[in-house]
Structure 1
């Protein structure tokens, strides 16, 4: 019995501890339709009642279901869409608030703690004045000219690479030649000065281009201009100086040579410019063939080589002498010095090829055997390759364009083995002797050939 009583008491206690069901919510407005959406935010909690007696039976509020009660809520007014609003952003449970601490990150208006703030518009730009006024172009002087738009500073900038190479002078061989030939041609000092200057300008400008095309490192013991100023500026300076030289010759064409007597130069207007164009074209023809042989690894014949040198190297020598003959005050018949200057141009280039491969002075000023690094078919190289066509060693070394000292020394030994250096010295001796005879014929016993003979003696190789 005790056990049964205890069990009954336990069940009664457990029953009394069961939670009571939550009564449905009520509303003073009566029942509501249960079909409303359940997605609206819940209303604020209703005020709690303080009555403790007969709560369920004496309530003045009607009982409604929770769904009906929620359907009676009016939706809050919608805020204006954010500039960054999108369907994806709207579905996010917690969209981030704009970061108003970073100016410019959000476009105004933006919300700061429930307050809409609008950024102030930028101040209006100041009225245009002076160079900022576009109306100034209505009357702007567009008649550009050297005196108006070109300054000495601009000239210095454009001529920079040219002035750089001129600041490291060579032996001035061309000026010496002009002076020696003037003993026969007797050009007035003013014209002679222009001719000397023009030939020098063209020579120095051509060196700028040569160094770029040959990928040279040194010129007269100094870094080449395009390593200092860049390739583009260097080429532009060279071309600019070609036209600067042309302007000098135009001025020369416009003035008669000073002097007296019927022997004064009688060249017609424009002859100097025509000679300039002819020999500059020859220079580029010769240079073009030289580059073609190098870049296609084509070994020319000696005859082809002589034609190339006659255009490339002798062209500037010939230009100077032709201009001098046009301005000569020598009595008729005038001396034709072109055959002699052609010989001198040929001697000069063959000697330069020889010295490039054998002279320590050339090695210091331009680099050891630079012609081999360039891949150039110089006179000794052509002879060596053609002396032993079956041996491909030398032509393959040219193909490599090597800077390796040991490889270049081996190439020199190869040329010595084929007798190419001895052959080159012999050819130079023959040509120099021929030039001496030609000088004697031109002089005709006047005793004015000392300067030319001195130059030829310096060009001899023992």
Structure 2
């Protein structure tokens, strides 16, 4: 049989579905006759028989492979051996907390005076909380304090904290905020370990006050709205006083005095919170140590209303009042003050007697604190030298 070349030629298939031998042409579509040879009928039959036999064998192998695959897919134990499937079905190890804790550990490593921690040890002379509970309470306050430092720097746009870059400038704002939230949640878990519904209620109440106080502070700054002195002190009672109040209230809830009667520390703690915040604002404007740690008059960059600035805006001349307000407006636009602007603000504060006024206010609060300590010592019959030492460290 001789095959003629045709570009549209389709060779017939046999019963097994394979092309007949007349399909066998080279890559150039040349037939056997093109190469000078021809296939006899006997040769064609032999080749056809061979192809049919091979096709049957291939079908048997194919069917056998399909049976094996069906059996494999139906075998659930075999599927579990696949690593990609085992990830979805088995219990996985817990994620490390290293990443989320890193920003908080960074801020905790910064040098600080640890005023609240020292206050806890001093006040425990009166409240006599057992060592385990006291350690737990101190840890709670530390977690919250570190979280508040991270969030304060983000919200205030601070670039440095205690001589180092602010946490969000090292780890980024998203990680910093997430880490702060994690610390707050850890603090809640630590409160639960105290095993008292009263402690959980105390935590909730004081955290509520802290957020409210911070909200007012941020509102005044963002809107360049001057608060009154009374509004400022109320904000301090909420924002700064909250952690002091939480500390003492948690300690009072876990006191082991016999009988369990604790001295009234409420007014003392309020005064301590006010003294601490007003002093911190004053030192930010005047202290070389604060300049080294946070930069020169960092609070002016942030647009915070300190007691000194409020006093100046309420008591300076109309001309200087106008200058102060315009500088504050420019700070809001530029998101900071230049060195010359800061020096001008300080000159106006000094001329208005606002820095001296702040020192006088601190000394008055300090005298009231001393009076409260005297009264509590008289009621309890216990002298508190550690607290007096701490107060001496904070005097201006």
Normalising by the residue count of structure 2, what TM-score does the alignment of the two structures yield?
0.76
Cα gap change, 1:243 to 1:394, in 2 (>3 Å): same
Alignment-derived partner of residue 351 in structure 1: 279
Q: Which has the higher contact order (CA 8 A, sep 6+)?
A: 2
The answer on 1:407 being equivalent to 2:341 is yes
Cα deviations across residues 313-332 of structure 1 (Å, max 9, x unaligned)?
01001100000101111234
Aligned to 1:201: 143
Return the offset for 1:334: 1.8
The Cα shift of 1:458 comes to 1.9
Provide the rounded CA distance (Å) in 1 between the counterparts of 2:199 and 2:310. 36
Verify: 1:457 aligned to 2:392, yes or no.
yes
Question: Equivalent residues in 2 for 1:233-244 (5 A)?
Answer: 233-244=175-186
Alpha-carbon distance in structure 1 between the residues aligned to 2:249 and 2:93: 36
Specify which structure has the higher proportion of helix.
2
Question: 1:237 is paired with a residue of what secondary structure?
Answer: helix
Question: Which of these residues, 195, 210, 215, is aligned with residue 288 of structure 1?
Answer: 215
Cα distance change, pair 210–114 in 1 and its aligned pair in 2 (3 A): farther
User: Is the contact made by 1:347 and 1:432 (CA closer than 8 Å) also made in structure 2?
Assistant: yes
Name the residue aligned to 2:328.
398
Query: Is 1:180 the counterpart of 2:133 in the alignment?
Result: no
Q: Does 1:170 align with 2:103?
A: no
Distance in 2 between residues matched to 1:324 and 1:395, nearest whole Å: 44
Q: Distance in 2 between matches of 1:223 and 1:114?
A: 76
The Cα of 1:131 is off from its aligned counterpart by 2.8
Give structure 1 stretches of 5+ with no counterpart.
1-75, 80-112, 116-126, 143-147, 254-268
Identify if the C-alpha distance between structure 1 residues 78 and 419 changes in structure 2 by more than 3 Å, giving closer, same or farther. farther
- Cα distance in 2, alignment partners of residues 114 and 415 from structure 1: 100
Contact kept? 2:138, 2:247, Cα under 8 Å: yes
Helix, strand or coil at the partner of 2:194? helix
Q: Deviations over 1:241-277 (max 9, x none)?
A: 1010111110112xxxxxxxxxxxxxxx311111111
Matching residue of 1:258: none
| Aligned residue number for residue 248 of structure 2 | 321
Q: Displacement of 1:441 after TM fit?
A: 0.9
The ranges of structure 1 where at least 4 consecutive aligned residues each deviate by more than 4 angstroms after the TM superposition are 76-79
1:78 Cα deviation (Å)? 8.8
Structure 2 residue aligned with 1:213, among 145, 155, 162?
155
Distance 1:282 1:114 in 2: 90
Task: Confirm or deny that 1:371 pairs with 2:299.
Answer: yes
Query: 1:344 & 1:209 partners in 2: Cα distance?
Result: 23
How far off its partner does 1:224 sit?
0.8
Aligned twin of 1:26: none
Shift of 1:279: 0.5
- Aligned CA RMSD, in angstroms, stands at 2.4
Residue 426 of structure 1 corresponds to which residue in structure 2? 360
Cα distance 1:389–1:240, how it changes in 2: closer, same or farther (>3 A)?
A: farther
Question: In the comparison of the two structures, how many residue pairs are matched?
Answer: 320
Task: Note the C-alpha offset of 1:389.
Answer: 6.8
Aligned mates of 1:350, 1:338 — CA distance in 2: 19
Distance 2:170 2:190 in 1: 28
CA deviations over 1:9-28 (Å, ceiling 9, x no partner): xxxxxxxxxxxxxxxxxxxx
The normalised TM-score by structure 1 is 0.66
Larger radius of gyration: 1
**Residues 284 and 389 of structure 1, relative CA distance in 2, 3 Å threshold:** farther
| Aligned counterparts of 1:344 and 1:433: Cα–Cα separation in 2 | 11
CA deviations over 1:347-372 (Å, ceiling 9, x no partner): 00000010001111000000100011
Is the Cα contact below 8 Å between 1:376 and 1:398 reproduced in 2?
no
Match of 2:267 among 327, 331, 339: 339
Q: How far, CA to CA, are the matches of 2:224 and 2:156 in structure 1?
A: 14
CA deviations 1:25-73 (Å, max 9, x no partner) are xxxxxxxxxxxxxxxxxxxxxxxxxxxxxxxxxxxxxxxxxxxxxxxxx
1:114 CA drift (Å) = 7.7
Contact 1:187 1:328 in 2 (8 A): yes
Mapping of 1:259-298 within 5 angstroms? 269-298=196-225
Residue 130 of structure 1 corresponds to which residue in structure 2?
82
Aligned partner of residue 97 in structure 2, secondary structure: helix
Partner of 2:310: 382
Q: Which runs of 5+ in 2 are unaligned?
A: 1-5, 10-26, 30-72, 74-78
CA distance in 2 between counterparts of 1:404 and 1:379 reads: 21
- Superposed CA deviations along residues 90-141 of structure 1, whole A, max 9, x for unmatched, are xxxxxxxxxxxxxxxxxxxxxxx988xxxxxxxxxxx97623238x74xx25
In the alignment, is the contact (CA less than 8 A) between 1:168 and 1:220 conserved in 2? Answer: yes
Q: Which residue of 2 aligns with 1:109?
A: none
Decide whether the 8 Å contact of 1:191 with 1:327 is kept in 2. Answer: yes
Alpha-carbon contact 1:373-1:403 (below 8 Å) kept: yes
